[in-house]
Amino acid sequence: MREILDAIQSGASSGDIAALPIPESYRAAHILKSDEQMWAGVASKDKDPRRSVHVGDVVTPELAPDEVYVAVMASSINFNTVWSSIFEPVSTFGPMARLARESEWAKRHDQPFQVIGSDAAGVVLKIGSAVRNWKPGDRVTVHCNHVDDQDQSAHNDSMMAANQRIWGYETNFGGLADLAVVKANQLMPKPEHLTWEEAAVSALCNSTSYRMLVGRNGARMKQGDVVLIWGATGGIGAYATQYVLNGGGIPVCVVSNADKAQILRNMGVEAIIDRSAAGYQFFTDDGAHDEAEWRRLGKDIRALVGEDPDIVFEHPGRQTFAASMYVAKRGGTVVTCAATSGFMMEFDNRHFWMRLKTLIGSHFANYKEAWEANRLIAKGMIHPVMSQVFTLEQTGEAAYQVHHNMHEGKLGVLCLAPEEGLGVTNPELRDQLGDKLHRFRR
Ligand code: NDP
């Protein structure tokens, strides 16, 4: 990989990069099928990604005609890195075995290991014979929607594709590695003003929040909408907050400590709820819902902005879902993409139907949505929310921090990039944006 890194850093031509030999193996953060049962009987919070994420060499798979090899300069930790590494809610080796049954090329994904990671920024090294729009040497970010576009169901909205998967979570050969294998239809241009690690952290979370709030498949936020955002400095929440501010909405941001509240103030948010200070107990000790606490949250929101939320940006799941469904305005929308605290949810349907609310399930984003979300980053209108950077060897530690909610925004991971701060090709835009690019840095 040394030769590849040298070529990238010296600005080698497309032809020179195309001529580089692809190594037979590469360094990757991976989990092992043989570890699948290692957490039997262990509580979720005690499952430690530092024990299940391994960093070492894996064999380079052959390249399919519609794929490219990307030399990964940097990647990021997503919450799905946590899910893979603790084998919850299911082991990801099952989805990969099913993928392997779909085609000859797909068989490569069924291995005793999985290279994890659903984000990457880097350089195209080699393209498959059917790839048209990209060439070796292109600087790219990778989105994680893995779709077979020969299937009719993949058209219209590719998130509706019968064989839609999340790359690096439900597929092998993901981004937390020195090399990645991606479909050409996952590539997007790297925002020029960003470093490799800044460019690597956004695609998954930013695109998800874009679809949930802005794109036509989500809640379609409009000017003046009050939007309640749980986890407003977390991975998806910090992009959601930016979309609401940009789009003329009124964010009501929930976080769990004063430092996070300060980050939000620096971003220009006025209505902030510290859920730890408020001490909401949406469930009684015997596990029943406590409607009085939903009402207390609703009163707190009204005290801040004078009305109920038009939209609730929901993802904590079981712990907050019933409250979210309750506090949404009459005719309002709850849009959800996750259930971090538990996926079996209950809510009081009377408040839902009598007040004519809408619930939208949302999942990642199609190529067009991811492209639009990336375009906003490239234009300096949305910013990466990276707070810390780790090395590839520290992937387990970084996933541990996300698992235990010890982070803000996103955690970057250096792969081939030897240090932070490299990869900027538009320093003018970077200077213009100034501190906005560093609001999440610790
Ligand atoms: P993060 O951990 O970065 O942020 C989540 C935030 O939610 C935390 O910072 C925390 O903020 C808040 N939170 C956590 N637990 C609770 C709780 N019980 N009650 C209230 N707030 C809580 O994760 P991400 O933002 O990256 O992802 C969030 C979820 O969304 C994950 O489950 C992830 O897997 C899922 N996801 C789904 C996607 C999809 O395409 N379907 C895409 C991306 C993410 P604080 O403590 O400050 O309140």
Over residues 243-253, the pLDDT tens digits come to: 999 999 999 99
Q: How far apart are the first and last CA of the chain?
A: 31
Residue nearest to atom 14 of ligand 1 (CA): 316
pTM value surpassing 0.95: yes
Q: Which of 77, 78, 79 to mutate to test the pocket of ligand 1 (most atoms within 8 A of CB)?
A: 79
Q: Quote the ligand 1 centre to 245 CA distance (angstroms).
A: 20
pLDDT at 149: 86
Q: Over range 129-143, report the average pLDDT.
A: 98
Q: Quote the ligand 1 centre to 316 CA distance (angstroms).
A: 6
Q: Which DSSP string do the residues of 249-306 spell out, in sequence order?
A: -EEEEEESSHHHHHHHHHHT--EEEEHHHHT---B-TTS-B-HHHHHHHHHHHHHHHS
pLDDT at 31 over 90: yes
Which pLDDT tens digit goes with each residue over 44-82? 999 999 999 999 999 999 999 999 999 999 999 999 999
Q: Quote the ligand 1 centre to 317 CA distance (angstroms).
A: 9
Q: Ligand 1: residues within 6 Å at CB? A: 78-80, 204-205, 208, 230-231, 233-237, 254-256, 260, 275, 315-316, 319-320, 337-338, 340-341, 363-364, 402, 405
Helices (H), ranges, 132-232: 196-200, 203-213
Which numbered atom of ligand 1 lies nearest the CA of 341? 18
Which pLDDT tens digit goes with each residue over 356-411? 999 999 999 999 999 999 999 999 999 999 999 999 999 999 999 999 999 999 99
pLDDT confidence bin for 442, thresholds 50/70/90: confident
The position carrying tokens 């213009």 is: 432
Query: Rounded to 5 degrees, what are φ and ψ at 237?
Result: -65, -35
pLDDT at 170 over 90: yes
What is the distance between the alpha carbons of residues 74 and 420, in angstroms, rounded to a whole number?
9
The dihedral region occupied by 117, where left means phi > 0, alpha psi between -120 and 50, and beta the remainder, is left
Q: Quote the ligand 1 centre to 277 CA distance (angstroms).
A: 19
C-alpha pair distances (Å), 159 with each of 131, 165, 362, 370: 21, 9, 9, 11
What is the distance between the alpha carbons of residues 242 and 159, in angstroms, rounded to a whole number?
23
pLDDT at 205 over 90: yes
Q: Quote the ligand 1 centre to 339 CA distance (angstroms).
A: 8
Q: Quote the ligand 1 centre to 337 CA distance (angstroms).
A: 10
Instruction: Give a three-class secondary structure readout of 334-397.
Output: EEECCCCCCCCCCCCHHHHHCCCCEEEECCCCCHHHHHHHHHHHHCCCCCCCEEEEEEHHHHHH
Residue 215's contacts (CB-CB under 8 Å, 6 or more residues apart) are 365, 369, 372
Q: Quote the ligand 1 centre to 403 CA distance (angstroms).
A: 10
Which numbered atom of ligand 1 lies nearest the CA of 318? 18
pLDDT at 133 over 90: yes
Q: Quote the ligand 1 centre to 113 CA distance (angstroms).
A: 26
pLDDT at 260 over 90: yes
What is the percentage of the chain residues whose pLDDT exceeds 70? 100
Q: Quote the ligand 1 centre to 228 CA distance (angstroms).
A: 14
pLDDT at 321: 98
Q: Show the tokens assigned to 284.
A: 């009684």
pLDDT at 10: 94
What is the distance between the alpha carbons of residues 82 and 78, in angstroms, rounded to a whole number?
7
Q: Quote the ligand 1 centre to 230 CA distance (angstroms).
A: 8
Which numbered atom of ligand 1 lies nearest the CA of 238? 25
What is the percentage of the chain residues whose pLDDT exceeds 90? 98
Residue nearest to atom 4 of ligand 1 (CA): 234
pLDDT at 415: 98
Query: Torsion angle, CA of 392/394/396/399, rounded to 10 degrees?
Result: -90
Q: Which of 405, 407, 408 to mutate to test the pocket of ligand 1 (most atoms within 8 A of CB)?
A: 405
Q: Which of 158, 202, 236, 239 to mutate to test the pocket of ligand 1 (most atoms within 8 A of CB)?
A: 236
